[in-house]
Structure 1
Amino acid sequence: MNRKRPAGEANTQLPAAFFDRWRQPFARFLRIEAAGGGALLLATLLALVLSNSPWAPWFLDLWETRVGLGFGSLEFSRSLRDWINDALMTLFFFMVALELKRELVLGELRSPRMAALSIAGALGGMLVPAVFYLALQFGQPGQSGWGIVMATDTAFVIGCLALLGPRIPQSLRIFMLSLAIVDDIGAILVVAIGYSHGFDGIMLALGGLGLVLVRAMALGGMRHLLGYFLIGSGIWLAVDASGIHPTITGVALGLLTPARRWVGDERLYGILSRVIAHPAGDHGSGDTKDRHTLQLAEVAVRESLSPVERLGMALHPWVGFVIMPLFALANAGVSLSLTALGDSVTLAVVVGFVCGKPAGILLFSWLAVRTGLALRPPELGWRLLTGGALLAGIGFTMALFIANLALSGSVLDSAKLGVFLALLVAALAGSTLLMGTSVGQRRPDAG
């Protein structure tokens, strides 16, 4: 005689498996903010070592390998480096735009005055460094590289802040994350406007129609990601053919992604209660009522998170641990030479990041607070803001991205060297200043 056992604690958990013991530690590792920056740093060091080793010719030529499709006389191909910079980096900017959308709709930037502080700092951190750079490079071969010094590298900056731990308040992390996201968006707009070549209005219009279609699909309740992926790929191809840099597609699609969840808590619990109400037993695997209820519950649980949150969680490991390290391997290779340290382009990049970046962030933030446009949290003193502004001089990812578009040859190598030097100086200066400010000793600054 079979007797049903009451549901004990073991029956309220998922079945155990061998790899479960590794799943939670690995998931915690993915959540560590410094991990993405660590992977990026390792890839950068590897690129530098290989590009200055006997394998340098093979390593540098690898990224120039042509990859694509051919149909008779038609060919759609580009170098491996261009596929990474144009296609994979679109996903990076898509994730950046998702994070910005989440902060604006669900996060700390819902308050206009709180958002104004980060936006003002980001604007100053883009404009002033570009002015510093142009002042040193006007009329010289590196003049077109003015956009190199405009953006902050999110992964490295957040990684530095994570390593500082409780020494800094959460408000500084939010300010720096928001600032980095805003000036990443600004930098890709600069790429789209300032570093695109040629223009095809018809293809751009087709891309715009694709965005309208995506918006209509979202308003109509379309939930399947495959449809959005296919339409998004078509938009990318149209924008690429228009002459505008296709990574702008990632920004547009990210900002169009819904930030509100489809299933609220009350509806979710109601659907789950229907699952609990089904009696236990063996009903086979056919088309039964309880099976439909379980399928409904699966959709409800998935849709209890907004698309912005769900896509952000899904993409973050791929962007942080695959796309960004690949980008570093493909773009960070440069032959190091002591003679290049005195090059005017190297100097302009370092000055733009190390001096212009913090000066612009602090000046525009101060003006925004003094005019009443922005609100500065009391615990976020000007000394902390200065340390954060110095860290913002780490511009690795977008700096290399724009450098490859704007410059070439020895001038490009000098710019890359400037980016590396600025990274070291900015990270050391900002971390040292913030490390000297403990939570217990911090007092709100006046102003």
Structure 2
Amino acid sequence: MPRPSDPHPKGHQDLPFGRLDWVTAPFARFFRIHAIAAAVLLLAAVIALAFTNSVWSAWYQSLWNTSAGFVFGSADFTRPLRGWITDGLMTLFFFVVALELKRELVQGELRNVRFAMLSLFGALGGMVVPAGLFLLLAGDARAAWGTVTATDTAFAVGCLAVLGSRIPPSLRLFVLSLAIFDDIGAILVIAIGYGHGVNWNAIAWVGIGLLSTMGMARLGVRSIPIYFASGLGIWYFWDRSGIHPTLTGVALGLMTPTTRWVTPLKLRAIFTRALNQSDVGTGDSPQSQREGFRRAHTAVRESRSPVEQLEWMLHPWVAFAVLPLFALANAGAVIRDVDLSSPIISSTAVALVIGKPVGVFVLSWLAIRVGIARRPSGLTWPLLGACGMLTGIGFTMSLFIAELAYPPAALNDARFGILLASVVSAVAGIGLLLVLTRSRGVPSIAAGPVQEVHR
């Protein structure tokens, strides 16, 4: 995802410093690092575990179960705080995931069809194989198979960021794109496997809302508040439809345009006109000059596509607010109540730690062997296997699906199994990558586009 640019990039040191820039600039650099996003998420999980296993456990659980909202006529907009986070704020997460997928497919490396197919087949294997293992081992908990199909994008990419420039760019892109496909697959699993009685009238209103949003985009409407209001309406009817409302984020993200309103050529013309108006002796009034610079400011904003604008605006909020809040509300497992003999724990651990890397490797290999996909340079078979270990970090997404799939009595064991599998997968993946890249002169992450190699 795009990160906020340096407030004083090279070649622009003549820009004036704000009064608080000496404080904010280090934070801007701080939040650009993938590893920090994963660290914040890890800290939130540790806090949740600490509270749920302390004398404040009852207070902590009651906090997230506190009802919030309002009633308007016959419509009841109240639910627990945990529900607002899971059903509401996580919609923003899926929206950003869909934005990133759309950008990569249209403008990024996934325009390369064979590389996109490698990521897609890897994600498919990373869903089918662990789900199959879970169905074989879980006994009466088989209905919760969806919990082992997902990958936590923030943690997986964060683990690679910890290793820095040792990791070739092709590996980082493969993990990122695979995790995105994985997350989209997970939300489809939620829609198919964990709905509760479809309300077709509500579905019809969802369709009307989506068509209206598409129409506004075609007409050139650029106001974010208008689209936000439309998205709220779609979310409401999707919530009433019996299908999980976070699908709103996926649908709207994939519908977001990738075209720029102001092309580079038009931007240059607008800037040239504004600069000419500011020249002494042109006769333009100060008000006219200010208007020219205002137009130039608007043109700069609109020279980025809606996908780029929304990613840049929302990614920090999702990474450093939405996901940590979700972890605080859902990652707490009461250790003393865990039943280590539970098939939920063992089946979850086996499916994520073993099923995920096996599925990713086998279907990636198969796609390459039959000629559907190509392996990019720098992505060796051992590295591909190691990155498969990182896809076993289910964490956020697995916890999200577990909230829908398990009854309250089984949720504690499910959380423990997910946390255990995520820790083992992260340690094993990082350790294996350290061994594989120890003596390798791998290029920097910023080394440019990936190149294909023959199978």
TM-score (normalised: structure 1): 0.93
Residue 255 of structure 1 is matched in structure 2 by 254
Equivalent residue letter for 1:265: P
Distance change (3 Å), C-alpha of 1:80 and 1:339: closer
Q: How far is 1:260 from its partner?
A: 1.8
Post-superposition CA distance 1:220-267 (Å, at most 9, x none): 111111111111111001111111100000000000011121111111
Distance change (3 Å), C-alpha of 1:287 and 1:64: farther
Q: Secondary structure at the match of 1:340?
A: coil
Q: How far is 1:214 from its partner?
A: 1.0
Post-superposition CA distance 1:88-113 (Å, at most 9, x none): 00000000000101110111000111
Residue 231 of structure 1 is matched in structure 2 by 230
Measured in 1, the distance between the counterparts of 2:218 and 2:96 equals 21
Alignment of 1:6-155 (within 5 A): 13-71=14-72, 74-138=75-139, 140=140, 142-155=141-154
Q: How far is 1:342 from its partner?
A: 2.4
Residue 174 of structure 1 is matched in structure 2 by 173
| Structure 1 runs, 4 residues or longer, greater than 3 Å off | 11-15, 71-74, 279-283, 439-447
Q: How far is 1:445 from its partner?
A: 10
**Contact residue 375 and residue 454 of structure 2 kept, 8 A:** no
Measured in 2, the distance between the counterparts of 1:38 and 1:386 equals 24
Equivalent residue letter for 1:379: G
Q: Secondary structure at the match of 2:278?
A: coil
Residue 423 of structure 2 is matched in structure 1 by 424
Equivalent residue letter for 1:294: F
Q: How far is 1:15 from its partner?
A: 3.2
1:368 equivalenced with 2:367 (yes/no): yes
Measured in 2, the distance between the counterparts of 1:64 and 1:105 equals 41
Equivalent residue letter for 1:22: V
Q: How far is 1:275 from its partner?
A: 1.1
Equivalent residue letter for 1:77: T
Q: Secondary structure at the match of 1:437?
A: helix
Measured in 1, the distance between the counterparts of 2:32 and 2:13 equals 26
Post-superposition CA distance 1:375-417 (Å, at most 9, x none): 1013110100011000110000110001010102332111111
Alignment of 1:149-228 (within 5 A): 149-228=148-227
Equivalent residue letter for 1:245: H
Measured in 1, the distance between the counterparts of 2:328 and 2:66 equals 14
* Stretch deviating more after TM superposition (21-30 or 252-261): 21-30
Measured in 2, the distance between the counterparts of 1:213 and 1:72 equals 26
Distance change (3 Å), C-alpha of 1:282 and 1:127: farther
Post-superposition CA distance 1:176-213 (Å, at most 9, x none): 00000001000001111210111111111111111111
Measured in 2, the distance between the counterparts of 1:212 and 1:389 equals 38
1:303 equivalenced with 2:302 (yes/no): yes
Q: Secondary structure at the match of 1:70?
A: strand
Measured in 2, the distance between the counterparts of 1:179 and 1:101 equals 14
Post-superposition CA distance 1:51-105 (Å, at most 9, x none): 0000000001111111111235653211110000000000000000001011101
Equivalent residue letter for 1:273: T
**Contact residue 166 and residue 440 of structure 2 kept, 8 A:** no
Q: Secondary structure at the match of 1:278?
A: helix
Post-superposition CA distance 1:133-187 (Å, at most 9, x none): 000124x1x1211000001000111110000112210100000000000010000
Residue 396 of structure 1 is matched in structure 2 by 395
Measured in 2, the distance between the counterparts of 1:355 and 1:116 equals 23
Q: Secondary structure at the match of 2:28?
A: helix
* Stretch deviating more after TM superposition (245-254 or 420-429): 420-429
Equivalent residue letter for 2:101: L
Equivalent residue letter for 1:27: A
Measured in 2, the distance between the counterparts of 1:234 and 1:427 equals 39
Q: Secondary structure at the match of 2:296?
A: helix
Residue 244 of structure 1 is matched in structure 2 by 243
Equivalent residue letter for 1:151: A
Measured in 1, the distance between the counterparts of 2:73 and 2:187 equals 35
Q: How far is 1:290 from its partner?
A: 2.1
RMSD: 2.3
TM-score (normalised: structure 2): 0.91
Measured in 1, the distance between the counterparts of 2:307 and 2:454 equals 37
The aligned length equals: 435
**Contact residue 36 and residue 158 of structure 2 kept, 8 A:** yes
Measured in 2, the distance between the counterparts of 1:353 and 1:188 equals 18
Q: How far is 1:22 from its partner?
A: 2.1
Distance change (3 Å), C-alpha of 1:74 and 1:114: closer
Distance change (3 Å), C-alpha of 1:272 and 1:73: closer
Work out which of the two has the higher radius of gyration on C-alpha atoms and give 1 or 2.
1
**Contact residue 168 and residue 437 of structure 1 kept, 8 A:** no
Distance change (3 Å), C-alpha of 1:105 and 1:446: closer
User: Unmatched 5+ residue regions in structure 2?
Assistant: 1-11, 443-451
User: Unmatched 5+ residue regions in structure 1?
Assistant: 1-10
Measured in 1, the distance between the counterparts of 2:393 and 2:364 equals 19
Q: How far is 1:341 from its partner?
A: 2.2
Post-superposition CA distance 1:306-353 (Å, at most 9, x none): 111111011111001110010001001110138622211000000010
Instruction: Using the aligned pairs only, state the percent identity.
Output: 51
Measured in 1, the distance between the counterparts of 2:392 and 2:287 equals 60
Post-superposition CA distance 1:355-387 (Å, at most 9, x none): 110111011100100000001013110100011
Q: Secondary structure at the match of 2:340?
A: helix
